[in-house]
Chain A
């Protein structure tokens, strides 16, 4: 009986009908789809020839309706490899590295074509690329330099806004480092290979990768992307000022501007460095290991005196803010309401930040204005904290008196009860 139950049963009329419907549906779904025979074979091939349907479906070009033949030519509708990859069908085969920028540029430099996919997408990438160090080297036959596919990837190319894209801001440094941090690969080029290691130790990397601040700079922010070149000594200030506008305004007014230009020094980089830019502390104005002024100035000269005055001002305000913070925290932990003064401390901190920005003018009078404003606010907040502590002590004294009064009443009541019950 059990054996009989396991016997395959012939398809009944109902099942035959279901099968017919499935076949019709399958045919309908297949109709209208462009055949891509390339992937039939390439999905089974090893790298670098292997491209699976899954990988290619991630590619933004595939998503916009482009196929293998859009770049490689040939006839993807034919199942016959000889016909599909025949020169007659326009098959180009593997694209040579030196031809890649032009191939991409065929579409990406055509505003009319690109507009139909993304009207806001720029079309000057190829022109820019030709002005870049990469483009110039490629033009003279150096095929080791980066071409479009090295940075953007190929066959699974994603939009830069996609966090998985190799050119998404959080991934750009890794993409550049792929070549620029490879000492063997970079052999023969007169540039160091420690930029990525330095950048990873910088405040910019920390902001971008750790705090997730996408406005923080990565390689392409300072060097450009398609037109990537070193900024050049005299242009560094322009690069930094894209974000640090106030520091730039102050530096423009300073005596250092002309002095650095005359000495051929690279502006901001002189004090802050380039790839390994650390969080700037007031110690830069000091005389310790992090100090920068005394690299050029002579101890005791007019500038050294100004430096010492600037540092003293910053230290004074910093200490005043910390002192107010401490008193307010103590008052707060005692249950006193000092939130207004706590909020006011942000204004004092803003003044300190402003003074640190004004330092780039290297003018003691301007810095002192911000310092005095901050000191005034910090003093007011400190007083609020002290007042709160006085109030706390007054409350406790009042409590003491009340408790004594209550204790006396309790004793009196107890004695009275004893008397009336005796």
Chain B
């Protein structure tokens, strides 16, 4: 029966030719192979986000007078609404975490080297988009914390020289964070960002397929010198089954988080009450937020916040172009890039912890 059906499709889609590259695809097998799972887990969580996001769309109503109530309705009245919403929120956070972890693993395994520069660039843009998903989605329940975090976040955007103010007004849909901002963020979250992310994701995955899986430089040198030492496994089914196991573990983690710690709804946003004391952004923006807080209000003649925003912009651009500073030869990779990666990881982790603990 299955063989007949498959033959029927093969006659019409040339299915076998389409999946032939997957059959021949191989994955290097070494002690660090487990890091290869991170990209797949991020992809899996993105899929969860799309599925739960679509389900939430059935009940969510964007608008200052309805958003909070509609999420409250989802959480209390809709069958399994609490589960869908909690999984969407937890999965978003896990996805950002795994995307960061994937980026650092690629950096430490030096998988961004020639010819994979474009894979890195598309991945970095995807990471920025994922953070954009987080920022725009955070406001959608229209609760107090989200309202003021968005206010602070968009204010920081306003610090960008020349383009800052128009950008802030564009993001907010006016001078202040209002219902217009919510509608706008909803549009970004469910239409603009998913569209861009899907295209980039296809490019990213296609590049991974075309270029194959990278091997750490030291191992590459060894394996080139001694080809008999090369160890590999088939992508399908060997690696795919292992990846599936990782997805199941991620699913179990999501289930535990959603059932034991359902995502809190908070209190409905009231623009007329003062901001709660010690308002902070979500954890993935905390390292930037804390840095901006630590910069003095004036550095020489430049405004501290402007300097901070400019610095982060330049660092982001540099990070995007990092592969172009790397050597083409696996035996001559630049140690300063690894050093920089160690520093960046320590800085992001340290500043996030400091920001979390600071009052």
Which residues does A use to contact B, with CB under 8 Å?
Answer: 335-337, 339-340, 395-396, 398-399, 402-403, 406-407, 409-410, 413-414, 416-417, 420-421
B301 contacts A by Cβ under 8 Å: no
- Contact: B248 with A406, CB < 8 Å? yes
A308 to chain B, nearest CB (A): 41
B265: contacting residue among A339, A407, A409, A421, CB under 8 A: A339
**Residues in A neighbouring B252, C-beta threshold 8 A:** 402-403, 406-407
- Which residues of B lie under 8 Å from residue A395 when comparing CB positions? 82-83, 259
Contact B241 A337 (CB under 8 A): no
16 A-B pairs with CB atoms under 8 Å apart are A335-B263, A335-B264, A337-B75, A337-B76, A337-B262, A339-B265, A395-B259, A399-B255, A399-B259, A403-B256, A406-B248, A407-B252, A409-B248, A410-B245, A413-B245, A417-B241
A395 and B83 CA atoms in complex are apart in Å by 9
Interface: B300 (CB within 8 A): no
B26 CB, nearest partner CB in chain A, Å: 14
B244 in contact (CB, < 8 A): yes
With A402-B255, A403-B252, A406-B248 in contact, is A335–B261 under 8 Å at CB?
yes
What is the interface of chain B mostly: helix, strand, loop, or mixed?
Answer: helix
The A-contacting residues of B in range 68-96, CB under 8 angstroms, are: 72, 75-76, 82-83
- A69–chain B nearest beta-carbon distance, Å: 49
In the bound complex, what is the Cα–Cα distance between A417 and B83 (angstroms)? Answer: 32
Report, nearest first, the 10 A-B pairs whose CB atoms are least far apart: A335-B262, A399-B259, A337-B75, A406-B252, A395-B259, A337-B76, A413-B245, A417-B241, A406-B248, A402-B255
Report chain B residues within 8 Å CB of A416. 241
Q: Which residue of A has the minimal Cβ distance to B262? A: A335
Minimum CB–CB distance for A396 against chain B, Å: 6
Chain A residues near B265 (CB, 8 Å)? 337, 339
Does B238 touch A at the CB level, under 8 Å? yes
Complex CA–CA separation, A169 to B106 (angstroms): 69
Residue-by-residue, is B231-265 near A (CB-CB < 8 Å gives 1, otherwise 0)?
00000011001101100110110011001111111
Determine if B248 and A337 form an interchain contact, defined as CB atoms under 8 angstroms apart. no
Tell me which residues across on chain B come within 8 A of A421, comparing CB atoms. 238
Interface residue from B75, B83, B249 paired with A410 (Cβ < 8 Å): B249
Q: Is the CB of A410 within 8 A of B248?
A: yes
Distance in angstroms from B210 CB to nearest chain A CB is 27
Q: How far is the CA of A336 from the CA of B264 in the complex (A)?
A: 8
B245, B248, B259, B263: most-surrounded residue (chain A CB, <10 A): B259
Instruction: Specify the main secondary structure of chain A where it touches its partner.
Output: helix
Which A residues touch B238, using CB under 8 A?
Answer: 417, 420-421
9 A-B pairs besides A337-B265, A406-B251 with CB distance below 8 A are A337-B75, A339-B72, A395-B83, A396-B259, A396-B260, A399-B255, A399-B256, A399-B260, A410-B245
Q: Are A413 and B255 in contact (CB under 8 A)?
A: no
Shortest CB distance B36–A (Å): 15
Residues of A within 8 A of B242 (CB): 417
A420-B237 contact given A395-B259, A399-B255, A410-B245, CB 8 Å threshold: yes
Say whether, besides A335-B261, A340-B76, A413 and B241 are in contact (CB < 8 Å).
yes
Q: For the complex, what is the distance from the CA of A414 to the CA of B242, rounded to whole Å?
A: 8
The answer on a CB contact under 8 Å between B245 and A337 is no
> Please, which residues of chain B bring their CB within 8 A of the CB of A339?
72, 265, 267
Q: How far is the CA of A403 from the CA of B237 in the complex (A)?
A: 24
Q: Is the pair B255, A337 in contact by a Cβ cutoff of 8 Å?
A: no
Chain B residue with the shortest CB-CB distance to A398: B259
Interchain CB contact (< 8 A) of B260 among A335, A409, A417, A420: A335
Contacts of A410 in B (CB 8 A): 245, 248-249
Q: Give the residues in chain B near A420, CB-CB below 8 Å.
A: 237-238
Residues of chain A within 8 A (CB-CB) of B249 are: 406, 410
Report whether A413 and B260 are in contact in the complex, using a CB–CB cutoff of 8 Å. Answer: no
Residues of chain B with a CB closer than 8 A to A413's CB: 241, 244-245, 248
**Min CB gap B141→A, angstroms:** 12
Closest B residue to A341 using CB positions: B76
Instruction: Report chain A residues within 8 Å CB of B264.
Output: 335
With the chains together, A344 CA to B265 CA distance in Å? 18
Inter-chain contacts of B263 with A (CB < 8 A): 335
Q: Chain A nearest CB: distance from B74 CB in Å?
A: 9
The answer for the CA separation of A275 and B252 in the assembled complex, in Å, is 65
Shortest Cβ distance from A402 into B: residue: B255
Name the residue on B nearest A394 (C-beta): B259
* Chain A residue contacts of B256, Cβ below 8 A: 399, 403
CB distance from B297 to the nearest CB of A (A): 32
Q: Which residues of A contact B241 (CB under 8 A)?
A: 413, 416-417
Instruction: Give bound CA distance, A190 to B336, whole Å.
Output: 91
Which A-chain residue is minimally distant from B263 (CB atoms)? Answer: A335
Chain B residues closer than 8 Å to A396, beta-carbon distance:
259-260
Q: Are B259 and A414 in contact (CB under 8 A)?
A: no
From residue A177, how far is it (CB to closest CB) to chain B in Å? 35
What chain B residues lie within 8 Å of A398 (beta carbons)?
259
Distance in angstroms from B237 CB to nearest chain A CB is 7
Q: How far is the CA of A362 from the CA of B148 in the complex (A)?
A: 49
Provide the bound-state CA to CA distance between A117 and B48, in Å: 72
Which residue from chain B places its CB closest to the CB of A416 in the assembled complex? B241
CA distance A409 to B237 in the complex (A): 16
Measured in the bound complex, the distance between the Cα atoms of B242 and A420 in whole Å is: 12
Query: Chain A residues with Cβ under 8 A from B237's Cβ?
Result: 420
Establish whether residues A337 and B260, one from each chain, have CB atoms under 8 Å apart when the complex forms. no
Measured between beta carbons, the chain B residues less than 8 angstroms from A403 are 252, 255-256
Chain A: minimal CB distance from B269 (Å): 14
Residues of chain B lying within 8 A (CB to CB) of residue A417: 238, 241-242
Minimum CB–CB distance from B212 to chain A (whole Å) comes to 21
Chain B: which residue is nearest A403 at the CB level?
Answer: B252
